[in-house]
Amino acid sequence: MKTIRVLGFWICLAIGLGLGALAQTTPKPVDASAPATAFSAVRAMADVRAIAQRPHPIGSAAIVQVRDHLLARIGEMGLEVSVHPGDGARPYARDGTALGVAAVQNVVGILPGQSRDLPAVLVMSHYDSVPNSPGAADDALGAAAALEIARALKAGPPLARDVIFLFTDGEEAGLLGADAFFARDPLVAHVGVVLNMEARGDAGRAAMFQTGPGNGDLLALMGRSAKRPSANSLASTVYAKMPNDTDFTQAVKVDLPGLNFAIIDNQLAYHTPLSTPDRLDQGSLQHIGDEVLPTARALADGASLPARRPNAIYSDVLGLVLISYSTTVGWALLVLAAAMIGFVAFRALSLKGTSLAQIARGVAGALLLVLAGALVLHLLGRLLNIDSGQRLYDLLGRFNFLLLGAAALGAGVGLAVITAQARGLPRLAPSLIALVLGGACSLVGGFDPVGLGLGVAAAALVWAALGGSVGVLGVWIGGLTVLFLLALAAQILAPGATVMLTWPLLIAGLGAVLALGLGGTRDRRVALAMTLTIGLLAVLATAQLTAWGAWTFAGVGLMEPAVLALFVLLAAPALSPLAFDFAESRWRWGGVAALLVVGLGLTVFAALPGASPQRPNLTEAHYLADPAAGRAWRVSSMPKLDAWTRETLAADGGTAPRKQALPPFNADPVWMSETRVVQIAPPVLTAERSGDRLLIRVLPGPGAEVLSLKVRASTALSDPRLNGRPITLVTRPDDWSTVTAHAPDPNGVTLSFTAKASGRVEAAVMELRDGWPQGALPPAAKPAELMATGPSDKTAVLAHAKLAW
């Protein structure tokens, strides 16, 4: 019995981690022989392969082939099919001085319902990719899933309402197709609810990470319908505060309810040449279909769409079921938690198992645990020094090792704090260690006030938490109290965030109630049953927190590894009685050291630089011509040049690469090597006056994919218009404003303003075309350990114009 108690912490930790990892696995792809009404990833993969043959950004020749494929497939199914052209626009700068625009071609298929006047269900994905990526995951996965969902719904009984399948154009250029649809397409008036499918990786379970307004009843419907659902309200709460966007953002802007699904594992393939059909996890495709198809079917077959109710608090339980409840129920659960903590504290004090002073130290210990863990993991983030895309992709290639290493470091710090409290560790050395670690955060990347603040706070908490032995009940009740206060604050400020706080609190609280309610029994069977129950509760809490933590770290962990410290705190109350038993053994510090050494080893391995064919890194090189000046350069925006890029820049008579700015397009210096000039037809840029209007006109050159038009005037400009249509563009005297046109009209792009009676204006345009220019020496094939990104292997052409009046 004693051995089981001593090893119980490790046994429960291992089982919990294993179950949490198992909950993150994807289902087996369903074969093409499945019933016609079922979702089959194997069937859908045929469309993934057709769509993701090559990169197909907006305006490219390849995207025309993708559009034709969609139209043919939708037509084969007997749906109403059409192309909805429109104009999309999106601010590219917070101050409004930059704007992205495009003429988009959205593809729409409609599966008619029995009552055409009922609000429709909209299933949305986008069919463009970024340049240099075939986009098998982002978003051929979503488009192929939508086609398979359409086929499965068509094969079933007639539905009550229309289902609209929207394949947007120009998502990667700034949600431009979605803007054109939700802001200006008349069909949007027919939409009642939106289901969007996205990707930020090419593997992993599909998580429903964002909802529209009034999601209470909609979440309940998803919980009843979706297979193996994956969702939690904290993710939706946090995502709403982040700068990331998908097409679903445009639906939310017009107050439409809905659900947003995405896969985010294996981000090494995200927006890179690695995103191919062969690399795509077919289980991810199956999982997104298993969630979206039954949800869409339930919505389309209902007599009415879910009523708008206040946003729910919700989460899946180990990927098996989705539980959602109202904020009122959330308050009731907190009252229950408070009653549990009150009973446990009263019982422990009555039995003289602890004291108020020890509980206070337990509270300080819980705070020390999370701050010390955050300090160590924040220092890890500083040492990783993710200062460029190249460094990021170094780490993405070994992301799982980084996740495991960070988790081991966090667990090691947590166990160290509990052991220090159990053994009454002196204060001086831990407080000095905290201050040293806080100062060390400024060794990389300059002065770090966050790291220093964490170090000072942790050092102060050492003096409140340590210095004398604290019993298991003091630590247990202290941890529960901290969790309760955090859950209470979240319930007041952001109820959706409480799910990750309240559930572990209730699980740990139940264990404490059982221990205090049955503690002291001499019946060995009862004692064994109680020990096993506490162990099972610890396993459940650890498993659920592992699933939550892994998904959270995939989303934000590389930006701030310290996020894992929160999950160590959340797991601590459930594990603390088991950790205490281990802390009283002679192996206590050996266990702490093992976790820290393993964590450090894994993170060092993950951080080792060096690209390989299995984990290639980024490179970029393109040709830049200024025909009017008679000059040309080979350019790379990479912060560091690899051997291939350096050789490419210096080739064809090029000079040694050096960093320099190219205003107004490259304010920050980039690598440039002046090279041999070849004949290139430039875009035609003119500036002229017509009455009180200033007209800046660009006639694109052959094969133009994107043009960036910059304008700077000495006087105030007003009433901006693009090809005669009003746009929102901020201009300031003597500052540059930018309009970026994707798939520009070959007949020309005209930007016009109302201008004062006198002044001067400068205009400059950079146009991107696919491939290296004819006559220039093409670069050697890229080695297998490198992959192109951004404008790599394109030709940029400049033109300039000036006017005074």
pLDDT digits (tens, 9 = 90+) for 442-485: 999 899 999 999 999 999 999 999 999 999 999 999 999 999 99
Residue type, 800: H
Rg value, the chain, Cα: 30
pLDDT of 154 above 50: yes
Structure tokens at 279: 């690399």
Give per-residue burial for 270-308: e unless 16+ CB within 10 Å, then b. bbbbbbbbeebbbbbbbbbbbbbbbbbbbbbbeeebbee
CA distance 490 to 542: 21
Average pLDDT over residues 705-733: 95
CA distance 187 to 178: 12
Average pLDDT over residues 171-189: 97
pLDDT at residue 7, as a whole number: 85
DSSP assignment of 148-178: HHHHHHHHSSPPSS-EEEEEES-STTTSHHH
pLDDT at residue 759, as a whole number: 93
CA distance 52 to 45: 10
pLDDT at residue 188, as a whole number: 98
For residue 264, report the phi and psi dihedrals to the nearest 5 degrees. -135, 5
What are the E-state strand segments in 588-642? 617-619, 622-626, 631-636
Structure tokens at 349: 């004090």
pLDDT at residue 522, as a whole number: 64
pLDDT at residue 240, as a whole number: 80
Owner of token pair 């560790």: 425
Q: What is the four-CA torsion angle of 653, 659, 661, 662, rounded to 10 degrees? A: 20
pLDDT at residue 584, as a whole number: 86
Q: What is the four-CA torsion angle of 713, 718, 720, 724, rounded to 10 degrees? A: -120
CA distance 419 to 413: 10
Q: Tell me the sheet residues that pair with 764.
A: 710, 800
Q: Say how far residue 449 (Cα) sits from the centre of its chain.
A: 26
CA distance 322 to 317: 6
pLDDT at residue 666, as a whole number: 84
DSSP assignment of 716-746: -EEEEEETTEE------TTS-EEEEEES--T
DSSP type of residue 186: G
The average confidence (pLDDT) of the chain is 94
The answer to whether residues 23 and 319 touch, using CB atoms and an 8 Å cutoff, is yes
pLDDT of 242 above 80: no
- Around 187, how many Cα atoms within 13 Å sit in the side-chain half-sphere? 21
pLDDT at residue 73, as a whole number: 98
Percentage of the chain modeled with pLDDT above 70: 99
- Around 460, how many Cα atoms within 13 Å sit in the side-chain half-sphere? 8
Average pLDDT over residues 51-57: 97
Q: Which residue has the higher pLDDT, 431 or 529?
A: 431
Owner of token pair 């529209």: 212
Owner of token pair 């146009």: 767
Q: How far is CA 153 from CA 76, 158, 225, 369, 734, in A?
A: 14, 8, 14, 51, 57
pLDDT at residue 383, as a whole number: 94
pLDDT digits (tens, 9 = 90+) for 346-368: 999 999 999 999 999 999 999 99
Confidence class for position 520, pLDDT limits 50, 70, 90: low
pLDDT at residue 530, as a whole number: 82
DSSP assignment of 92-161: SSTTS-EEEEEEEEEEEEEE--S-TTSPEEEEEEE----TT---IIIIIIHHHHHHHHHHHHHHSSPPSS
Average pLDDT over residues 292-312: 96
Percentage of the chain modeled with pLDDT above 90: 89
pLDDT at residue 1, as a whole number: 46
Average pLDDT over residues 286-299: 98
pLDDT of 96 above 80: yes
Nearest to 287 by CA among 40, 98, 48, 507: 40
pLDDT digits (tens, 9 = 90+) for 694-704: 999 999 999 89
pLDDT of 3 above 70: no
pLDDT of 194 above 70: yes
Neighbours of 781 (CB within 10 A): 8
Average pLDDT over residues 642-666: 92
Nearest to 561 by CA among 369, 373, 394: 373
pLDDT at residue 149, as a whole number: 98
Give per-residue burial for 12-43: e unless 16+ CB within 10 Å, then b. bbebbbebbeebbebbebbeeeeeeebbbbbb
